[in-house]
Chains A and B, each alone.
Chain A
Amino acid sequence: MIKVENLTKRYGGVTAVDGISFHVGKGEIVGFLGPNGAGKSTTMRMLSCYLPPTSGRAEIAGFDVFRNSLKARERIGYMPENVPLYNDMRVFEYLKYRAALKGVRGRRMKERVGDVMDLCALRDVERKLVGNLSKGYRQRVGLADAMVHEPDLLILDEPTIGLDPNQIRQVRELIRNLGRHHTILLSTHILPEVEMTCSRVMIINRGRIEAADAPENLRARLRTAGDVRIEVRAPDLEKAKAALLEVPGVLSAASTEEDGWGVFALGIEAGTDPREAIWNLAVSRRWAVRELSRTRVTLEDVFAEVTHPDE
Chain B
Amino acid sequence: MRKFFTLWSREIAVYFRSPAAYVILFFFLLLTGFNFWFVLNAMNRSPSGVSVIEAYFNTVFFWFGFVLPFPLITMRLFAEEYKLGTIEPLMTAPVRDVQVLLAKYLSAVFFYAMLWLPSLLYFVVFQWQTRLQAAPAAGSYLGAYAMLLLIGLFYLAIGCLASALTRNQVVAAIISFAGISLLFYWGFYSRLFPNVSPFLRDLTDYLSPIQHMALFSQGLFDTRPVVLYLSCTALVLFLTFQVFQYRRWKV
Contacts and interface: CB of A to CB of B under 8 A. Distances in A.
Contact of A97 (B6, B84, B94): B6
**Which of B17, B87, B89 has most chain A Cβ within 10 Å?**
B89
Interface stretch (A72-80, A229-237, A250-258, A284-292): A72-80
B86 A86 contact: yes
Interface stretch (A49-57, A119-127, A182-190, A240-248): A49-57
Interface residues of B, number: 23
B94 A84 contact: no
Given A84-B84, A88-B18, A97-B10, A103 B92 contact: no
Interface bracket on A: 20 to 34
Contacts of A102: 93-94
A277 interface: no
Nearest to B248: A50
Contacts of A48: 92
A85 B88 CA distance: 10
Interface of A: 45, 48-52, 70-71, 73-74, 76, 78, 80, 82, 84-88, 97-98, 100-103, 105, 145
A86 B85 CA distance: 10
A49 to B, nearest CB: 6
B7 interface: yes
Contacts of A98: 89, 93
Interface in B75-122: 84-89, 91-96
A85 B92 contact: no
B2 interface: yes
B88 A80 contact: yes
17 contacts: A48-B92, A50-B91, A51-B251, A74-B94, A76-B92, A80-B89, A84-B84, A84-B85, A84-B88, A85-B86, A88-B17, A100-B6, A101-B3, A101-B93, A102-B93, A102-B94, A103-B3
Contacts of A85: 86, 89
B193 interface: no
A85 B84 CA distance: 8
Chain B interface helix/strand/loop/mixed: helix
A80 B84 CA distance: 12
B199 to A, nearest CB: 46
B249 interface: yes
Nearest to A75: B94
Given A51-B249, A84-B86, A101 B6 contact: yes
Contacts of A74: 94
Interface string B1-23: 01100110010001001100000
A73 B2 contact: no
Given A52-B249, A88-B14, A103 B94 contact: yes
A73 B94 contact: yes
B94 A50 contact: no
Contacts of B248: 50
Nearest to B17: A88
A49 B92 contact: yes
A101 B95 contact: yes
Contacts of B18: 88
A15 to B, nearest CB: 15
Nearest to A74: B94
B119 to A, nearest CB: 28
Q: Which 4 A-B pairs have the closest CB atoms?
A: A84-B85, A73-B94, A100-B6, A101-B93
A82 B85 contact: yes
Given A50-B91, A100-B3, A70 B96 contact: yes
Given A50-B88, A98-B93, A105-B2, 12 more contacts: A51-B251, A70-B96, A73-B92, A73-B94, A80-B88, A85-B86, A88-B17, A88-B18, A97-B6, A100-B6, A101-B94, A103-B94
A52 B249 CA distance: 6
Nearest to B95: A101
Interface string B50-90: 00000000000000000000000000000000001111110
Contacts of A45: 88
Nearest to B18: A88
A147 to B, nearest CB: 13
Contacts of A145: 89
A73 B249 contact: no
Interface string B224-251: 0000000000000000000000001101
A101 B249 contact: no
A88 B251 CA distance: 24
A78 B6 contact: no
B85 A101 contact: no
B93 A73 contact: yes
A97 B8 CA distance: 11
A105 B6 CA distance: 11
Contacts of A50: 88, 91-92, 248
Contacts of A87: 84
